[in-house]
């Protein structure tokens, strides 16, 4: 007589099948790494929270509590990860990335620098929420002067969802960080089998696992079951060139252009002693006459004014719709408002605030 399985047995059987599929089906490189005589790469995982570390109802891919899983628990839950590399996990924070802040950025930058200087790791993976991942990655890309791989990874679904994307993403992030091909490429972002540059990547969808896209540049490469495939050679001399400001990052506000826009947002930023203002402008970084007049007045007071665009792709051009030379504005080219803000903060924090010098710094990043 054959007995029926309990719901618990069915669940455990499903987990076992999922683990077997993850470790043996999609990621054949694990076996290759295990069979090699070479020592395994040492990967330091710095956990900050986010959806990848969240828990919730297994039936839901959107309802969850961010930061419910520690970095050690997260790395231990991925089948085959320990065969790919020697893993050490540390908890930097455990927050949703909507709460990401410059204090955590500073902690990450300091710990990464320390780990490489002390030869503690061959590569670093940062687990992070997707909402502000591009900002964290862009900050680190500008301040880390290292040739060793630093990879940010997250997920769009909680760790408890039936269709969780976090385990596969984390495995691939470790694989990328452990690869010699990833050296001298700056900070990288890995999600959904794709390797991205912090400069180009942006979140484009609120729920899709394919949310990270590169509207102006395209991906750097892909991770498939056979190998890591970069689409171009690593650029020569690719290292962050800005120091982490000792006094912290200065206040830089983003103002959003819209129909019927007046000077209220700009006046408020000036009143709150913002050292810089980034315009998320319509079209080619434009705004109403009232807003542009207020921004010009702010620039005359020594506030750095950067024109970006609320449009998802394209470049903001100098002296086309707006006379930047006359008004003292800077253009962000392809940097979206949130990344333009990060670069402006770093420049001002490093003593660069004259419009022409700020513009040269934006020019140099392209």
Does residue 98 contact residue 133 with C-beta atoms inside 8 Å?
Answer: no
CA angle 282, 285, 291 (to 5 degrees): 75
Q: Please provide the size of the chain in residues.
A: 366
Q: In whole angstroms, give the CA distance from residue 340 to residue 320.
A: 19
97 is in an annotated binding site: yes
Residue 18: Cβ-neighbour burial (10 angstroms; 0-12, 13-18, 19+): middle
Q: Pick the catalytic residue: 51, 127, 160, 327? A: 51
Question: Residues 262-296, buried b or exposed e (16+ Cβ, 10 A)?
Answer: ebebbeebbeeebbbbbbbbbebbbbbeebbebbb
Collapsed DSSP state (helix, strand, coil) of residue 328: coil
CB atoms within 10 A of CB 36: 9
How many Å separate Cα 104 from the centre of its chain?
A: 13
Element (H, E) at 92: strand 86-95
Residue 130 annotated in active site: yes
Q: Pick the catalytic residue: 30, 130, 160, 344? A: 130
Residue 206 annotated in active site: no
Q: In whole angstroms, give the CA distance from residue 293 to residue 280.
A: 15
For residue 66, give both structure tokens: 């961010």
DSSP strand pairing (194-196 vs 86-95): unpaired
The DSSP secondary-structure symbol of 346 reads H
Q: In whole angstroms, give the CA distance from residue 41 to residue 54.
A: 27
Query: Which residues are known binding-site members for substrate?
Result: 97, 130-131
Query: Which residues are known binding-site members?
Result: 97, 130-131
List the catalytic residues: 51, 130
């Amino acid at each position: 007589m054959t007995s029926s399985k309990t719901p618990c047995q069915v669940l455990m059987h499903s987990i076992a099948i999922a683990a077997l599929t993850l470790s043996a089906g999609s990621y054949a490189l694990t076996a290759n790494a295990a069979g090699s005589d070479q020592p395994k790469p040492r990967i330091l995982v710095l956990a900050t929270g986010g959806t990848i570390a969240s828990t919730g109802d297994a039936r839901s891919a959107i309802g969850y509590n961010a930061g419910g899983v520690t970095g050690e628990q997260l790395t231990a839950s991925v089948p085959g990860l320990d065969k790919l590399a020697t893993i050490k996990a540390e908890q930097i924070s455990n927050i949703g990335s909507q709460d990401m802040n410059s204090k955590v950025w500073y902690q990450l930058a300091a710990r990464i620098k320390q780990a490489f200087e002390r030869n503690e790791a061959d590569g670093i993976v940062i687990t992070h929420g997707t909402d502000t991942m591009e900002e964290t990655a862009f900050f680190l890309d500008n301040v880390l002067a290292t040739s060793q791989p630093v990879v940010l990874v997250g997920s769009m679904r909680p760790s408890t969802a039936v269709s969780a994307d976090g385990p596969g993403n984390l495995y691939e992030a470790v694989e990328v960080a452990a690869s010699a091909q990833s050296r001298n490429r700056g900070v990288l972002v890995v999600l959904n089998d794709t390797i991205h540059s912090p400069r180009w990547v942006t979140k484009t969808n609120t729920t899709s696992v394919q949310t990270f896209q590169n509207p102006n540049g395209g991906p750097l490469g892909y991770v498939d079951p056979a190998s890591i495939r970069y689409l171009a050679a690593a650029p020569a001399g690719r290292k962050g060139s800005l120091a982490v400001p000792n006094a912290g990052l200065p206040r830089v506000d983003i103002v959003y252009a819209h129909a019927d826009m007046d000077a209220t947002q700009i006046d408020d930023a000036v009143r709150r002693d913002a050292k810089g203002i980034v315009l998320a402008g319509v079209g080619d970084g434009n705004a109403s006459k009232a807003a542009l007049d207020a921004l010009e007045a702010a620039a005359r007071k020594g506030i750095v004014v950067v024109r970006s665009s609320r449009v998802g792709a394209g470049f903001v051009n100098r002296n086309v719709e707006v006379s930047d030379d006359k008004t003292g504005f800077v253009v962000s080219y392809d940097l979206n408002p949130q990344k333009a803000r990060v670069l402006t903060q770093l420049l001002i924090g490093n003593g660069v605030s004259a419009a022409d010098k700020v513009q040269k710094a934006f020019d140099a990043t392209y």
